[in-house]
Structure 1
Amino acid sequence: MNILGKFLCVVLLVSLAACGGGRRGPSAVTVGYGAGPQFGDSQPHAWVGGHPYDHPVHGIDISRYQGNIDWGRVRGSGVSFAFIKATEGADHADPNFRRYWYEAGQARIPRGAYHYFYFCRSGAQQAAWFIANVPRERGAMPPVIDLEWTASKTCPRRPPSDEVLREAKIFKDILHRHYGQRPIIYTTVDFYRDNNLGSWPEEFWLRSVAGHPRIVYPGQPYSFWQYTGTGIVPGVQGNVDLNVFAGGAKQWRLWLSRRLQ
Structure 2
Amino acid sequence: MGRKRVFPWRWRLAAMVLLVLAGGGIWLWWQAQHWTPSRNDFPTQGVLVGAGDGPVDFASLAAVGANFAYIEASRGAEARDAMLSANLRSLMAGALPFGVVHHYDPCVPAERQAANFVTVVPRDGRMLPPAIALDKPARSCDDPAVEAGVESELTTFLNQVEAHTGQRAVLMLSEGFQQAHPIASQIERNLWLERAFLPPDYAGRPFTLWTANPRLWTEASAGPLRWVVVQP
Q: TM-score, normalised by structure 2?
A: 0.79
**Which residue of structure 1 aligns with residue 136 of structure 2?**
149
Alignment of 1:109-120 (within 5 A): 109-120=96-107
Match of 2:203 among 217, 225, 230: 217
- Report the CA distance between 1:78 and its aligned residue: 1.0
Measured after TM superposition, the shift of residue 216 of structure 1 is 3.5
Q: 1-side partners of 2:37 and 2:172: how far apart?
A: 17
> CA RMSD for the aligned pairs?
2.3
Contact 1:55 1:244 in 2 (8 A): yes
Residue in 2 that maps onto 1:42? 33
* Unaligned stretches of 5+ residues in structure 2: 1-25
How far did residue 42 of structure 1 move?
Answer: 2.1
**Partner residue, 1:231:** 216
In structure 2, relative to structure 1, the CA distance for the partners of 1:129 and 1:158 (3 Å cut) is: same
Amino acid at match of 1:242: W
Q: Is the 8 A contact 2:184 2:191 kept in 1?
A: no
> Counterparts of 1:125-140 in structure 2 under 5 Å?
125-140=112-127
Report if aligned partners of 1:209, 1:226 keep a CA contact under 8 Å in 2.
yes
Q: Is the 8 A contact 1:58 1:81 kept in 2?
A: yes
What do residues 130-160 of structure 1 show as CA deviations (whole Å, max 9, x unaligned)? 000000012101111111127xxxx942666
- Larger deviation: 77-86 or 188-197? 188-197
How many residue pairs match? The answer is 201
Aligned to 1:189: 175
- 2:153 maps to 1:167: yes
State how far apart, in whole Å, the 2-side matches of 1:107 and 1:232 are. Answer: 22
How many Å apart are 1:52 and its aligned residue?
Answer: 2.9
Secondary structure of 1:145's match? strand
1:28 to 19, 27, 30: 30
Question: Residue 60 of structure 2: SS of its match in structure 1?
Answer: helix
Q: Could you say if the C-alpha distance between residues 43 and 56 of structure 1 is closer, same or farther in structure 2, counting changes exceeding 3 Å?
A: closer
Work out whether residues 75 and 107 of structure 1, in 8 Å CA contact, stay in contact via their aligned partners in 2. no
Partners of 2:203 and 2:112 lie apart in 1 by: 30
Report if the CA contact (8 A) 1:119-1:159 is conserved: no
Q: Cα deviation per residue 1:63-91 (whole Å; 9 max; x = unaligned)?
A: 10111112221111110111100001111
SS of 1:230's equivalent? strand
Cα distance in structure 2, aligned partners of 1:70 and 1:228: 19
Work out which of the two has the higher radius of gyration on C-alpha atoms and give 1 or 2.
2
Give the structure 1 partner of residue 55 of structure 2.
68
Question: Post-superposition shift, 1:221?
Answer: 2.5
Provide the C-alpha distance between the structure 1 equivalents of 2:197 and 2:177, rounded to a whole number of angstroms. 16
Rounded Cα–Cα distance in structure 1 between residues aligned with 2:142 and 2:117: 22
Matched with 1:59 is: 46
- SS at the partner of 2:105? coil
Hey, which of these two has a bigger chunk of helix by percent? 2
| TM-score when normalising by structure 1 | 0.71
Could you list the runs of 4 or more consecutive aligned residues of structure 1 that deviate by over 6 angstroms after TM superposition?
none
**Identity across aligned pairs (percent)?**
23
Q: What runs of 5+ residues in structure 1 fail to find an aligned partner?
A: 1-24, 30-40, 45-50, 248-261
1:216, 1:65 → 2: CA distance? 27
Per-residue deviation at 1:198? Answer: 2.3
Deviation readout 1:151-182 (Å, 9 max, x if unpaired): xxxx9426665322111111100011121111
Structure 1 distance, partners of 2:143, 2:49, is 27
Shift of 1:209: 2.0
Contact kept in structure 1, 2:67 and 2:96, CA below 8 Å: yes
